[in-house]
Chain A
Amino acid sequence: MGAEFVQLSLTPILIGILAAIACALPGNFLILRRQALIGDAISHVVLPGIVVAFLLTGAVAAVPMLIGAGLAAVVAVILIEAIKRLGRIEPGAAMGVVFTSLFAGGVLLLEQSDTSGVHLDVEHALMGNLESLIWLDANGWASLVDPLALAGLPPELGRIAVVALVISVLTWVFWRPLTLTTFDEGFARTLGLPASALGFGLVITAAVAAVAAFDAVGSIIVIAMFICPPAAARLMTDSLVRQVWWSVAFATLSAILGYVLAGYGPLWLGFADAVSAAGMVASVAGAILLLAALMGPRRARLGESRATS
């Protein structure tokens, strides 16, 4: 655990942890509201947003792409709602229509435009490039206090850190109204809470988390972190506070373990090359969910005896 670790592994792990937490926090509420697949839909429509931003600006710049992706997510949410109402179609099907069409449009735009000179392709969008977010300027733990080296940190780290912080603060500030509208929307309305606005705000927050995390780690981690850690946490406890803490712990564990297993696991088994970190983080999150589903103390529905489940 020396200079090499700081240089090659510290920043990817940190970025992975922050992205996982940024997604898992809104994921807790999405799961309780039966909107878990909004995360899935958003992470698909991010692609056309990024491609359009690239075509308009002609450069792979982070800020326009983040804006493009965010706008695409908002457009998708509005489209899903419009199709649901105009066509009287069930939400799942409406979502399926919107995100697949937008994703297909994104892929087509990407193939048709000349992106050969830039690092922008579908596989990158799906799998991210966590492994490449290294900190070249570091030469040991001492670099953590060296301003010159700190200036060379990958910019993704700063962005995802800000987003994770903002989402944590938002979760804390809106805790009470969010909880109320999630569990009993009718009651929340009688208290005068703007339930629809809160619901929309939650989806937008999820979109921001997805877009920022996507920038750093690709869409697999985004979908997996929206759903797996909160789902596993839900099987551990009945209290929402504890569920959120469990989900943060699970998200962190998935990010660290996934990265380490992907980078060093094959070496321990005698293979020469590392495997995809994004894929491994999702796999570890799945393993945690499997364990929780088999052994979590609150895995059964109320009223079902634990012996039969």
Chain B
Amino acid sequence: MKGRIFCLWTALLLALTGCAMTPADPDTARESIQVIAMDTAMLITTYGERSPAAAYACEDAIRELEALFSRTDPDSAVSRLNAAGSLELSEEETELAGILRQAGRYYEQTGGAFDITVAPVVSAWGFTTDSFQVPAQSELDRLLPLVDGSAVTVEDRAAALGPGQSIDLGAIAKGYAAGRLCTVFNEYEVPRALADLGGNVLAWGDRPDGTPWRVGIQDPAHPDDKEALVGVLELADAFAVTSGSYQRYFEQDGKRYHHIIDPATGKPADSGLTSVTVAAGTEAGNGAMCDAYSTALFTMGEEKALEFWRSQENGALFSMVLVTEDGRVVVADQIGRFAFTPNEDSGYVYETVS
């Protein structure tokens, strides 16, 4: 009898030990965390044996960047730069120089359609503080001369603004953060992950079933219906970002004012587009690029956006989906890397351009 009891206990011990020591299957082991940062809600799902540690390292990375880039935290590097007009960067703050250089490059490429110095105008509309108001034209006329991305100077350990200028990294910071997550995923050997940083998605690897991640594009005409999509992008190892006039807005005297401010006019961009989605591979810098381009192309409008996409070899760099006010969905994809499945029930007319 003693032998049988010993046998039973040994089997139990082995089974439990075996259960605990079974290596996590990278296809099923996963961790999901939700983070409220950068004025948005983020959901990060990581897979693999080190998925919990990787997910929380992602949160740490995002918090670090938020502490640098926030415009509302008075202690952030950006706030101190805005307050003083120039800033010596500590070793921990050199990442600010990196994002400012990228922002400067996108300012040049887009002819000023992307401009981080639009900050004072954005504040005048109340989008920074949620105290929305329509500024007087005289106020816009006073602020618009301050909007000039070429006046920002960056060195390895210093940054400076033009007189009276301030910057807002809201149209690039989340994309930059998505790019930083790639570093974390590599470090933690994450085989696959999906990071949704509030309109910025990083599709890392593919889904556990081996198919690409399916990322829907919200129908701007029905922003309150989560099931209403203009189509679905199939993404693997890619960034995708959507900028849309429906995402943040207020109404005054029966008129709607959205948050994407045209740096040229100081007013919400009136370009005939309701949303712009930009997707690109996970090469370094592309997260910020997608973020910045989605804003810039929204401001440009369909014609200039297509011209921009076709020029400077940009067509080989990114794909884009434009949704127009007149009910069309324009899909521009020369790479063929990201399949787009239209939602035929949406009522839109779909066009593919090359």
Q: Is this pair of chains taken from one and the same complex?
A: no
**Residues of B in contact with A (beta carbons under 8 Å apart):** none
